């Protein structure tokens, strides 16, 4: 059965800290991995990683994909209170357009 | 924000009653999805559609049906609501099965 596991489940840091969120997956015929940010409302899209794009960066956020070891990490540097949210990882196989989501990592950034 | 709306945004109903949730998009995207989000389970796919009148089941489809008679509308129906279907329901859209954009969500409570 396909499975996506995120760690840690929750994290509390101080402003300015750097955090690393993990996503490991066991998905048949992997095609793409997505990262989302969810702040008490709908998830918002952050990054998509595929075999042709294994590293993405946007401002203080960056993500890499290791297709051999079947995991991805999301890094956030110089964290701010606005980064407080649940971060979701989703992995999709090449057919059926079905994505499997992890349960998320809850990040709290303290001033 | 992607042009996705969901209605109703909140609903309280009783066990055994039928319930229909509506997702409406203005983006003309081909793919539409219904997810439910529960604590400890993350986002789980209920049903998805890859075109008008073309739908398929997700991992938690039991007790749910869907219909898509127009590109812009995707309906989720609970034929006979149960307390286990109390959840937050998200609709999502996608152009080609990669990044998905989510609607604001519907909070459903079944008493």
pLDDT(A96) > 60: no
Residues A10 and A31: their CA atoms lie apart, in Å, by 27
**CATH code of the domain containing A89:** 2.60.40.10
Tell me the pLDDT band of B95, cut-offs 50, 70 and 90.
confident
The number of distinct structural domains making up chain A is 1
A45: chain B residues, CB-CB within 8 Å? 99-101
pLDDT of residue A56: 87
Q: Which domain holds residue A31?
A: 3-105
pLDDT(B73) > 60: yes
> Rounded mean pLDDT of A30-50?
90
B23 contacts: CB under 8 Å, gap ≥ 6: B4, B5, B6, B32, B34, B73, B74, B75, B76, B91, B103
pLDDT of residue B77: 97
Q: What is the largest CA-CA distance in chain A?
A: 44
pLDDT of residue A27: 75
A98/B48 CB distance under 8 A: yes
> Rounded mean pLDDT of B101-106?
94
> Rounded mean pLDDT of A32-44?
92
A17-31, A52-66, B6-20 — most confident range: B6-20
pLDDT(B97) > 60: no
Query: Which tokens belong to B85?
Result: 């279907």
> Rounded mean pLDDT of A84-102?
83
A103: chain B residues, CB-CB within 8 Å? 40-42
Q: What is the largest CA-CA distance in chain B?
A: 38
Does A27 lie at the interface with B, CB-CB under 8 angstroms?
Answer: no
Query: Which tokens belong to A80?
Result: 């701010």
Does B57 lie at the interface with A, CB-CB under 8 angstroms?
Answer: no
A59 contacts: CB under 8 Å, gap ≥ 6: none
| Domain annotation covers residue A20 | yes
Q: What average pLDDT is seen over chain A?
A: 89
Residues B26 and B15: their CA atoms lie apart, in Å, by 33
> Rounded mean pLDDT of A67-81?
92
> Rounded mean pLDDT of B22-51?
92
DSSP collapsed to 3 states, chain B: CCCEEEECCEEEECCCCCEEEEEEECCCCCEEEEEEEECCCEEEEEEEEEECCEEEECCCCCCEEEEEEECCEEEEEECCCCHHHCEEEEEEEECCCCCCEECCCEEEEEC
> Rounded mean pLDDT of A30-40?
89
Q: What's the pLDDT tens digit per position in B50-68?
A: 999 999 999 899 999 999 9
> What domains, with CATH codes, occur in chain B?
4-110 (2.60.40.10)
């Amino acid at each position: 059965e396909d499975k996506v596991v995120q760690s840690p489940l929750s994290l509390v840091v101080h402003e300015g800290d750097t955090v690393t969120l993990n996503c490991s997956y066991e998905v048949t015929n992997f095609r793409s991995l997505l990262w989302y940010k969810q702040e008490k409302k709908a998830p918002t899209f952050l990054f998509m990683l595929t075999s042709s794009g294994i590293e993405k960066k946007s401002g203080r956020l960056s993500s890499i994909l290791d297709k051999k070891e079947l995991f991805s990490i999301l890094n956030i540097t110089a964290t701010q209170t606005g980064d407080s949210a649940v971060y979701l990882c989703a992995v999709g196989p090449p057919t059926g357009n079905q994505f499997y989501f992890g349960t998320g990592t809850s990040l709290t950034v303290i001033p | 924000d992607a042009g996705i709306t969901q209605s109703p945004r909140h609903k309280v109903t009783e066990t055994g009653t039928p319930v229909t949730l509506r997702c409406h998009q203005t983006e003309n995207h081909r793919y539409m999805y219904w997810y439910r989000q529960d604590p400890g389970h993350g986002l789980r796919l209920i049903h998805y559609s890859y075109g008008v009148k073309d739908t398929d089941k997700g991992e938690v489809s039991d007790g749910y049906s869907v219909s898509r008679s127009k590109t812009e509308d995707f309906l989720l129906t609970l034929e006979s609501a149960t307390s286990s279907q109390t959840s937050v329901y998200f609709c999502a859209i996608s152009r080609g099965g990669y990044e998905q954009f989510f609607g604001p969500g519907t909070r459903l409570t079944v008493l």
